[in-house]
Chain A
């Protein structure tokens, strides 16, 4: 599956339209949990990670109208990663300016410390994005399937249970489990593809 940057532009075109509430909702459902987990990983409390997420979304909203994101220079999620890191830095800087009794230089240094920009971090972001995109797509297609089909898919593909065990649990044939699992996967694949180029 290609993540070519140019094909992503359409959801980004849609969120430029401030009146398109669906576009923002789709966008936030996909990216907000990713930024939230990024904040938590950087050591923030839940509430602080939530603030970070709101600030990143705010920054995206502003940047999108100023066309700061250039699809020819890389993927959107790569660009978003940079925005999230900058907002994290700002958040820590604000914390660092709070009056503190000791003026302890070491403490301030620690507060201002950025997560190391090593390969591991962007690998984490990439892997986390793919998981989040999968969950986002599953939520969007779940309503299109009967509960038994959904369970056949979830228990085998996600939870890794054997088709035979799931077939006996649901009282359907192994062939029906594979059929249901594959149909849901096919819809998820299409949903992800549509995200890239609708």
Chain B
């Protein structure tokens, strides 16, 4: 009985010089079978680069994403290719830690927002404000509980910050609203409320006072004094991320 060489384009990186069936048996003595199959079928670095560029056929893309679900090696490989090493990932975490440290906004703020952020903030598409009830005050964008939304201060993937008038307490406040797409997630809601509680616990002249947390509201919101809100625009935008 003869053994043909693996077909051209085989995913197996090693061409067995001995009959393939014997090699497999030898290897399977040292590695669990599932692991063996996984290692043998990992996409190449070139393949992962194509995956990053998004140029692969949908079916191939789906297969590779499925592979990523399970293969910790490929998760690391992909991250490493994307970040061009570890340093960008390290910087990302430092940024995250710095943001956590100043959860109460006690950070020196950049003097101005980048233009594109401001443009984005004012150009909020209507869908983003779909959670607002019709305004009961002229000039307002809409109403959320007892808050009349006056303008969009900042927005991002995680939520939106609105300048609003508090009908109960008769003052202008800034309110942060969790993105409606995340409001259905229990984890996201808890995280949102925790963040508000952490901010409310800090009392400092540089820190805005949290007035209210509405975790029963749909979507959840929290509000703070608006006089410092404009100064905290960048922070708000970052929070809204």
A contact set with B: CB distance below 8 Å: 1, 25, 28-29, 32-33, 36-37, 39-41, 46, 49-50, 53, 127, 130-131, 134-136, 139-140, 142-143, 147-148, 150-151, 154, 157-160, 163, 165, 168-171, 173-176, 178-179, 181-183, 185-186, 188-189, 192
Q: How far is the CB of B129 from chain A (nearest CB, A)?
A: 15
Q: Does B139 contact A (CB under 8 A)?
A: no
Q: Flag if A1 contacts B84 (CB, 8 Å).
A: yes
Contacts of B6 in A (CB 8 A): none
Q: How far is the CB of A55 from chain B (nearest CB, A)?
A: 12
Q: List 13 A-B contacts (CB under 8 A).
A: A1-B84, A134-B88, A147-B179, A147-B181, A158-B92, A169-B182, A170-B182, A175-B68, A178-B68, A178-B79, A185-B89, A189-B84, A189-B88
B67-107 interface with A by 8 A CB criterion? 67-69, 75, 78-79, 81-85, 87-89, 91-96, 98-100
Most buried by B among A37, A185, A188: A185
Contacts of A174 in B (CB 8 A): 68-69
Q: Flag if A36 contacts B108 (CB, 8 Å).
A: yes
Interface residues on B, range: 35 or more
Q: How far is the CB of B159 from chain A (nearest CB, A)?
A: 10
Q: A151-B158, A169-B185 are in contact. List 19 more A-B contacts (CB 8 A).
A: A1-B88, A32-B111, A32-B112, A33-B110, A33-B111, A131-B98, A134-B92, A157-B96, A158-B93, A158-B96, A163-B75, A173-B66, A174-B68, A175-B65, A175-B69, A182-B82, A182-B83, A183-B82, A186-B52
Task: Please name the 7 residue pairs, one residue from A and one from B, whose CB atoms are nearest each other, closest first.
Answer: A175-B68, A33-B110, A40-B108, A182-B82, A175-B65, A175-B69, A147-B157
B contact set with A: CB distance below 8 Å: 51-52, 54, 64-69, 75, 78-79, 81-85, 87-89, 91-96, 98-100, 108-112, 114-117, 120, 156-158, 179, 181-182, 185, 187-188, 231, 241
If over half of B's interface residues share one DSSP class (helix, strand or loop), that class is named, otherwise mixed; here it is helix
| Residues A157 and B89 in contact in the complex (CB < 8 Å), given A178-B79, A189-B83 | yes
**Considering the chains assembled together, what is the distance between the CA atoms of A195 and B179 in angstroms?**
32
Q: How far is the CB of A191 from chain B (nearest CB, A)?
A: 11
Chain B, Cβ-Cβ closest to A21: B115
Most buried by A among B75, B85, B185: B75
**Considering the chains assembled together, what is the distance between the CA atoms of A174 and B110 in angstroms?**
35
| Residues A49 and B108 in contact in the complex (CB < 8 Å), given A147-B179, A185-B79 | yes
| Residues A186 and B116 in contact in the complex (CB < 8 Å), given A32-B110, A160-B96 | no
Q: How far is the CB of A182 from chain B (nearest CB, A)?
A: 4
Contacts of A168 in B (CB 8 A): 187
Q: Flag if B241 contacts A154 (CB, 8 Å).
A: yes
Contacts of A175 in B (CB 8 A): 64-69
Q: Flag if A37 contacts B108 (CB, 8 Å).
A: yes
**Considering the chains assembled together, what is the distance between the CA atoms of A131 and B111 in angstroms?**
17
| Residues A160 and B114 in contact in the complex (CB < 8 Å), given A188-B88, A189-B82 | no
**Considering the chains assembled together, what is the distance between the CA atoms of A83 and B82 in angstroms?**
35
Q: Flag if B65 contacts A25 (CB, 8 Å).
A: no
**Considering the chains assembled together, what is the distance between the CA atoms of A39 and B99 in angstroms?**
19
